[in-house]
Structure 1
Amino acid sequence: MTSTVLLAAAGPSPLWYATRAGGTVALLLLTATVLLGIVAGGRYAPKRIARFEIGALHRNLSLLALAFLLLHIVTAIADSYVHFGWIDAVVPFASSYRTLWVGLGALAFDLLLAVLLTSAVRLRIGQRRWKAVHWLAYASWPLALFHAAGTGTDTRLSLQLGLYAVCLLAVVGAVWWRLYRAGPGHRAARWWGAVAAAAVPAVLTVFLATGPLQPGWSHRALAPATSTVSTSTVSTSTGLISRELG
């Protein structure tokens, strides 16, 4: 018990900082990837940049985002402060720590892996199937955003909130710009795109105001405790909450 308390009082380790930094950079890169995919997709053709150059930049940004996402996961696993393994990172909602919010991150990771794997066998599965899976990358972005806001222990910091706002405004602005430039037809797709572009910032704002920005969120976001809890488990949980509030 004494060693647990001392560990809790020691404060965040370098691995914890690496986890938070890796996750933040991965979110920024994923935002840039999605933003580029939205703006350069469809019939729009920039005059000064060739399409193959945009495609190469899009691909490289996505690979870089995956690299930082792996850094985020590996450092979280290596940090012994919280029990977290590869199963938790891959299987959604399998983690005993912040089950819902970690689960959203696992879903985002799985969607990005699906895009990566299908891109490797693109010629075998065909353009239509690959493109259908590729659209899943867009779904990974809001999942990653809510994962970061719900799990991140620094969500209440002004800088972190500013980064979330920049990511949100950039993607929503790109969606509205794409809808504006879209030609006639595909009314259903355009309607759902407009609804999603309006719903995500509204839901995120309400969530932040009623959740992470309220006192006691670190405690409420943790998975429900079992009926029988040992003294050492209570000490560890208390240390986690104290560390996260700090």
Structure 2
Amino acid sequence: MDEALWAIGRATGIVSMVTLTLAVVLGIVTRSGRPLPGLPRFSVTLVHRNLSLVSCVFLLVHIVSLFFDSFAQLTLLDFVVPFFGSFLPFWQGLGTVGVDLLIAVVVTSLLRNRIGLRAFRVVHWLTYVLWPVALAHAIGNGTNGTSGWFLVIAGISTALVLGAVAWRVSARFIEFRTVRTGEVS
């Protein structure tokens, strides 16, 4: 059973990282208010939200399966206090920090209408910290973190996110006014 939990933990961690990468890229694209080829604007937002949800579900399975795996030997404290774990505490701690940041982003997303758009956006900016922290955790703590195939996935993920960020901060990025004001066009 432990081997199955270990395999589930590894696989779900990788899937969570890939879907989080795609959600971050789509979040950056969504911010512009532009549609993607073949998708209207509202669809880009829905795909972004659904990918974020899928990433959270796989992350939850990742955490739970490793918690019950006797080889991983994780405690409840490992999930709450960063850098406290017994195995690779720095890299494991990055995972804890990533989960804490993700919880903040998810909670503010769910409370977006209650806390206001400004507070939502400020907390949502934590995603720019969350993503590299999660990637570093995957590389440093993951069983396959330094495997060639995983480093290719990490490299592609990094290129996608950095490309989206470069586009976001470039002069070519034009945010449609209706995105900022919430007007319907």
The question of 1:27 aligning with 2:17 is answered yes
Partner residue of 1:116 out of 100, 106, 113: 106
Pairing 1:33-72 to 2, within 5 Å after superposition: 33-42=23-32, 44-46=34-36, 48-72=38-62
Cα deviations across residues 87-118 of structure 1 (Å, max 9, x unaligned)? 31232222222111011111111111111111
- The separation in 2 between residues aligned to 1:120 and 1:178, in whole angstroms, is 25
Aligned to 2:166: 176
Give the superposition deviation at 1:46.
4.7
Q: Which residue of 1 aligns with 2:180?
A: none
Residue of structure 1 in register with 2:132 after alignment: 142
The normalised TM-score by structure 2 is: 0.85
- How far apart, in 1, do the equivalents of 2:45 and 2:133 lie? 24
Q: Whole-Å Cα distance in 2 between the matches of residues 24 and 151 of structure 1?
A: 12
Q: Retained in 1: the 8 A contact 2:36–2:44? A: no
SS in 2 for 1:112: helix
Question: CA contact under 8 A between 2:98 and 2:134: conserved in structure 1?
Answer: yes
Per-residue CA deviation, residues 2-50 of structure 1 (Å, 9 max, x unaligned), is: xxxxxxxxxx712111111011000000000001111231354557533
Match of 1:41, SS state, is helix
Matched AA of 2:173: A
Q: Which amino acid aligns with 2:101?
A: L
Corresponding position of 2:76: 86
CA contact (8 A) 1:90 1:109 kept: no
- Residues 147-178 of structure 1: CA distance to partner in whole angstroms, max 9, x if unpaired? 01110122232211111111111111112222
May I ask how many residue pairs the two structures share in their alignment? Answer: 172
Q: Which runs of 5+ in 1 are unaligned?
A: 1-11, 184-246
The residue identity in structure 1 corresponding to 2:169 is L
Unaligned runs of 5+ in 2: 175-185
CA distance in structure 1 between the aligned counterparts of 2:126 and 2:4, rounded to whole angstroms: 33
**1:106–1:98 Cα change, 3 Å:** same
Write the letter of the residue equivalent to 1:172. Answer: L
2:85–2:92 Cα contact (<8 Å) kept? yes
Distance 1:57 1:43 in 2: 14
Q: Do 2:19 and 2:55's aligned partners in 1 also have CA atoms closer than 8 Å?
A: yes
Cα drift, residue 129 of structure 1: 0.4
Distance 2:25 2:144 in 1: 25
Aligned amino acid, residue 136 of structure 1: L
Please, what TM-score do these two structures have when normalized by structure 1? 0.65
